[in-house]
Amino acid sequence: MKKVSILFLGVLIIAAMLVSCNGSATVDVGEWDGNVYTNEQLGLTFTMPEGWESLSIAELAQQSGVGSDMFDGISEDEIEEGLNLIIMNATSPTGSMVNITIERVAGRVTAANYMEAGIEALEAELGTPISHISGDARIGGNNWRQYGYELDIGVLMGMEPGELGMYMNGRFLVNVDGGFARLISITQVDGSETIDEIIGMFSGN
Average pLDDT value for residue range 192-198: 86
Three-class DSSP category at 102:
strand
Model pTM score: 0.77
> Is pLDDT of 195 > 70?
yes
> Is pLDDT of 8 > 80?
no
How many CB atoms neighbour CB 51 within 10 A?
10
**pLDDT value at residue 147:** 85
Residues 113-122 pLDDT 10s = 888 887 888 7
Residues 53-107 pLDDT 10s = 999 888 888 888 877 776 776 666 767 766 778 899 999 998 899 999 988 887 7
CB of 139 within 8 A of CB of 130? no
Candidates 66, 93, 114, 124; CA nearest to 7 is 93
CB of 104 within 8 A of CB of 79? yes
193 sits in the region (left: phi over 0; alpha: psi -120 to 50; else beta) called beta
- Specify which of 26-30, 100-104, 166-170 reaches the highest per-range mean pLDDT: 100-104
CB of 65 within 8 A of CB of 59? no
Higher per-residue confidence, 17 vs 90: 90
> Is pLDDT of 20 > 80?
no
Instruction: Give the CA count within 13 Å in the CB-facing half-sphere of 150.
Output: 10
Phi and psi (nearest 5°) for 164? -80, -30
**pLDDT value at residue 91:** 94
Strands 167-177 and 180-189: antiparallel
How many degrees, rounded to 5, is the angle at CA 44 between CA 41 and CA 47?
A: 135
Q: Tell me the C-alpha distance between 182 and 85, whole Å.
A: 9
Q: Tell me the C-alpha distance between 37 and 95, whole Å.
A: 19
Structural domains of the chain, with CATH? 2-204 (3.40.1000.10)
Beta bridge partners of residue 32, listed in sequence order: 37
Cα dist from 126 to 123, 154, 180, whole Å = 5, 12, 27
Based on its alpha-carbon atoms, the radius of gyration of the chain, rounded to whole angstroms, reads 16
Candidates 8, 20, 4; CA nearest to 184 is 20
**pLDDT value at residue 82:** 64
Candidates 119, 120, 115, 146; CA nearest to 133 is 146
